[in-house]
Amino acid sequence: MTKVTRSEIEEFLFEEADLLDKWRLPEWLSLFTDDAEYHVPCMDLPADASPDDSLFYIADDRMRLGERVKRLMKRTAHVEFPHSKTRHMVSNVRVKEREDENIDVTSVFATYRTKDGVTDLYVGLSNYVIRQVDGAFKIRSKRCLLDSDALRPSGRISIIL
């Protein structure tokens, strides 16, 4: 197993953020493994809660994540049509390699969403499990833990965090 550096991981996360901000969502989706998960738990749950027995905001397996992307690219995803402007800021990246092929990565995020004259801010911690597949990084799981007490005043997580 080759050692990965923080700057390699950072470059990967910055690329992910850039694809999201450019609404190149099908390309963004290709960063995920076939068994990937994307989770946003409710803020009154412990960080390791399971969506099998607790209510989340988002608990996508790879199939639903694909549906999410497909939906967001349609005009009938009214909340995101026309597309909002987003800016995903990624910082405080820390990398911890495991014995197996997985790399644990934590980062903090501040994501701005602007639409119809209103700018909302989402702040929190992301827990990633990243793998190297054929020399490229792939996301096995991404869990975003929001710091706010509630989705107020944003009211929705209609973009991808």
Residues found near other proteins in the complex (CB under 8 A)? 40-45, 49, 51-59, 63-64, 66-68, 70-71, 74, 76-79, 116, 118, 149-158
Give the shortest CB-28-to-other proteins separation in angstroms.
Answer: 17
Closer residue to other proteins (CB): 64 or 131: 64
124: nearest Cα among 110, 134, 141, 114? 110
Closer residue to other proteins (CB): 85 or 98: 85
The two three-digit tokens of residue 34, written as one number: 């076939």
User: Could you give the 3-state DSSP secondary structure of residue 70?
Assistant: helix
User: Could you give the 3-state DSSP secondary structure of residue 109?
Assistant: strand
Terminus-to-terminus CA distance in the chain, angstroms?
30
Give the shortest CB-143-to-other proteins separation in angstroms.
Answer: 13
Closer residue to other proteins (CB): 35 or 116: 116
- The residue type at 78: H
Sequential DSSP letters for 66-130: HHHHHHHTSTT-GGGSSPPEEEEEEEEEEEEE-SSSEEEEEEEEEEEEEETTEEEEEEEEEEEEE
Give the shortest CB-159-to-other proteins separation in angstroms.
Answer: 10
Closer residue to other proteins (CB): 45 or 110: 45
- Residues 51, 40, 53, CA angle at the centre, nearest 5°? 15
Closer residue to other proteins (CB): 82 or 135: 82
Give the shortest CB-1-to-other proteins separation in angstroms.
Answer: 34
Give the shortest CB-145-to-other proteins separation in angstroms.
Answer: 13
The two three-digit tokens of residue 56, written as one number: 């989340």
